[in-house]
Amino acid sequence: MYPAVLIVDDETTIIESLEGILSDDGFEVIHAFNGYEALKKIETQSPDIVLLDIWMPGMDGIETLKEIKKIAPSLPVVMITGHGTIESAVDATKSGAYDFLEKPLSIDKVMVTINNALNFRKIEEENIYLRKKSIEKNSITGNSPAVRKLYGEIMSAAPSIASILITGENGTGKEMVARTLHQLSSRPEQPFIIINCAAIPDENLDSELFGHEKGAFEEATSKNKGKFELAAGGTLFLDEIGDMNINTQAKILRALESKTFQRIGGGRTLHMDFRLISSSNKNLEKEIEAGNFRKDLYFRLNVIPILVPPLRDRKEDIPLLVDTFLEKLSKQSSEKKKSISENALNLLVDYEWQGNVRELRNLLERLSIMVEKDHIDMGDIPLPYNPVCTPVELIEKELFLCEEDLNQAKKRFEKEFIKNKLNLEGGDLVSAAKKLGTSVKYIKKIIRNFHESN
């Protein structure tokens, strides 16, 4: 399908000339003699690009351009005039024109400009698509009142450049909220830089944040840009800031107040240019009372507060979360999506989920690996999520009530032993593998081999 070009000009000779050239190059050509006619054709025929004359009777080109941007913001418009001035070019650019051409028109320049504009629109549409997919990937799943309230807060806060403090229990999705805020901001194409304040040793945190010059300390064998620099133009996300030591808190506060910082061992003053989002699973007001967090820094960070609700406060979202996770796990493993019985689902809805959405996902990942059939029943739900089913009962059933050889019994025992350890670790495959002295890969292999042998 060839691109459609709308030519808007009150001179018939210009329209006929451009129409002949563009048609020969495979373009579909639409024409209009004034701004009013152009707006109607945009609504009814959806052109891919507009060539718009500035000087026309009635509604001139600048007015027409402004109206076009109201009804079709992403439609590229190239302005054409025989009376070109710097002022008119500036007006056209400010009003959203892609480019500006002067009469008499150079055909080569017209063709280059049209192709550049169409390529620009294609890239812009791809970026919008990727941005939408990123938002969908990182958005909180659910339709409960608590989640709808959270969506509203995100939509209100995202366009602002004010600092945001996200609070909530572990596993509620604070990082997902931060990513969504970035994607909905005015700078989604810019960097989104994360620093986990709880995972970096205190002695390395300053260097991670501010960077360092070569030779600043014994291990500094080369210059290193810190997260403050890497986030330039984008968003810096300080995850679990409640775990940051008091000394580093003071340095961050000074940097936020002055909007400047220096690399460790450096003398050059660098300017901040990022949107700051922080998160904490701690009650920072209590941390302030205990002397663990600076009150002045808290007020700097908490300009816009966002609380992510725990899963127990939005249990009506659990069926949708279960379906979403089972779908994703199916795609990851390239296996058929498992279904779940109503009774099994009711067990999950009734559970309190101290580990929140992360714990729910861990359990479903475990079930997708451990349950050999395509359907998850109530009996497949382990402790503590299912109080009527115990690992001991399962082992007795499999080992002593079934007729099988010793080798099969050993394999069944190993599988049930792994299940029991997973229960104790809250569904965390990595933690269970570590406690068992093996790997996640080995656990998956044991389960798959057992399934194949049956």
**Integer CA distances (angstroms), 140 to 180, 224, 359, in order:** 9, 35, 15
Most confident of 138-147, 177-186, 301-310: 301-310
**In the predicted model, is pLDDT for residue 397 greater than 60?**
no
**In the predicted model, is pLDDT for residue 378 greater than 60?**
yes
Q: Residue 97: what residue type?
A: A
What pLDDT is recorded for position 82?
73
Q: Which structural domains are found in the chain, ordered by start?
A: 4-129 (3.40.50.2300), 139-309 (3.40.50.300), 313-453 (1.10.8.60)
Residue 18: name the closest of 66, 51, 57, 46 by CA.
Answer: 51
Pairing assessment for the beta strands 270-271 and 260-261 based on DSSP bridges: antiparallel
**Low-confidence winner among 216-220, 247-251, 307-311 (lowest mean pLDDT):** 216-220
The strand pairing partners of 52, in sequence order, are 8, 79
Q: What is the pLDDT of residues 263-281, one digit of tens each?
A: 999 888 999 889 999 999 9
| Cα separation, 307 vs 310, whole angstroms | 9
Q: What is the pLDDT of residues 68-86, one digit of tens each?
A: 998 888 899 998 887 655 5
**Low-confidence winner among 30-34, 182-186, 189-193, 393-397 (lowest mean pLDDT):** 393-397
What pLDDT is recorded for position 393?
45
Are 174 and 279 in contact by the 8 Å Cβ rule? The answer is yes
What pLDDT is recorded for position 429?
73
**In the predicted model, is pLDDT for residue 398 greater than 50?**
no
What pLDDT is recorded for position 84?
57
Q: What percent of the chain has pLDDT over 70?
A: 86
What pLDDT is recorded for position 242?
94
**In the predicted model, is pLDDT for residue 105 greater than 50?**
yes
Are 29 and 71 in contact by the 8 Å Cβ rule? The answer is no
pLDDT band at 392 (very low <50, low <70, confident <90, very high): very low
pLDDT band at 202 (very low <50, low <70, confident <90, very high): confident
The strand pairing partners of 196, in sequence order, are 239
**In the predicted model, is pLDDT for residue 365 greater than 80?**
yes
| Cα separation, 241 vs 279, whole angstroms | 6
| Cα separation, 454 vs 371, whole angstroms | 13
Pairing assessment for the beta strands 4-8 and 235-239 based on DSSP bridges: unpaired
Between 30 and 127, residue with greater pLDDT: 30
* Mean per-residue pLDDT over the chain, rounded: 85
Across 41-54, average pLDDT: 91
User: Which two tokens mark 446?
Assistant: 């044991």
Q: Does the reported pTM lie above 0.95?
A: no
